[in-house]
Structure 1
Amino acid sequence: MSVLVLQLAGPLQSWGATARFARRTTENAPTKSGVIGLLAAAQGLERDADLSQLAALRFGVRIDQPGTRIRDFHTAHHPDTETAMPISQRYYLADAVFIAAVEGPDGFIEELHQALQAPRFLPYLGRRSCPPARPLDLGIRHQAGLADVLAGEPWQAAAWHQQRRRREATVDLPVLRDAEPDTSGTVTGDTVRDLPLSFDARHRRYALRTVYATTVTVPNPHSRPEHSLRSVPAHDPTSLLEDV
């Protein structure tokens, strides 16, 4: 088994797990359906293609930079009749960075890796209006499983974000990954409906999956020891009154 690692960073991202009419929300991290859709697009699959091989991949994501949630008050008109379309509210994550990883058979992971390097359809971060700002492909990891890869990848947050936490030598990052049965065979975690069965526009279908939430600790490359930070000089405003 191998693990393909992706970097998801851009000015805007939107990873919806549920959508109701004119309200289009986003989750706090990329969904499995969103990342599988990105990989399917890179492969050149049509919307009615069989997704079983992609859906069987083990999936996990690490939140390196959570970003800021913003709302777009969206208006539009029909291009032919100029009729006003329904007003909608669409939510995005601004300036977010994630590490996503999928684990599966060596041969299939290599196929996906090659597809990412020369995608048939342009990749986007949840919506077509959200292009990536950095290369998606971080390579294949052969010697570690999904959990170890998400724990071992360098912190990919923007330099300014890392510098804001320069007093910390290490940082704790949230991780969401497919839950596994424990020794008793029990699977615990939160249930989400983001396992794609079909992207066919006529009848999109998604199944439930169980997500295990944890944290990992990674080094901060911009950390500075406390003694190296500029110290604030001592100041006593009453000292000048002592000689009066």
Structure 2
Amino acid sequence: MRTPLLLPLTIMVFLGALPAGIALAQASETPSIESSGEEEGDFLFIPGIGRIPLPPGTRALGPGQGGRDVDSERRAPAAAAPPPPKDPAQQRAEEMARLYLRLEQAEDEREAKGVSAAILSRWAHSESDTINLLAARALAADAAGAPPLALKLLDYVVALSPQWTEGYVQRAKVRAEQGDDSGAIADLETAATLEPKRFDALAALGALKEKTGDKKGSLAAYRKSLAISPRQESLQKIEERLHIEVEGRDI
């Protein structure tokens, strides 16, 4: 039979406090939740008093617990740490990979042109504000009919940022306009080496090589461009014509 003292204590434990006049075995010890298995259930252990069975789902309040649901906290899994932020270079690489895949799988030329425009705009942007400014001024100089100034500016662009393929592509364009086919071919080959996915540089390279009489090299460049961007209908026709000229008709 429960003693008169134990009944009030049980009620007070569930209310979350004990009278100051009742001394526990050790003042520094705090109640704790214990479990004896699924069949027997949980207990609230109070030093000096013993274990008190807790009904399922009981919200036990005790010293230092501040009304927290101890039973839920004990069972809740630890929250997973958030993943570290991606490096900007990694983000750019992943984005470009998705665009290349979309370009390769485009259903028609219209879709391919939209994806190509997105890729070209990203190639045209450097991570350096200085390089972007010099390149913009070079384009403006070329459009204004001052190719010598444009070439000088693009020489600075290539010297300051030798890994930026757009600098070589832009300089190749100006060189070709000035009749420097060999210089333009060299720039386009450099761009295609630094970025093998530059389908625009490969297509331009094919045109220049065909112009200079290197039909075999031209055909190879066209095919590389079409492998990256298959929905270039005008380039497909050129490749078919050159294929017959260089390799003959298929048997």
| TM-score relative to the length of structure 1 | 0.25
Higher share of residues assigned helix = 2
Larger radius of gyration: 2
| TM-score relative to the length of structure 2 | 0.24
Higher share of residues assigned strand = 1
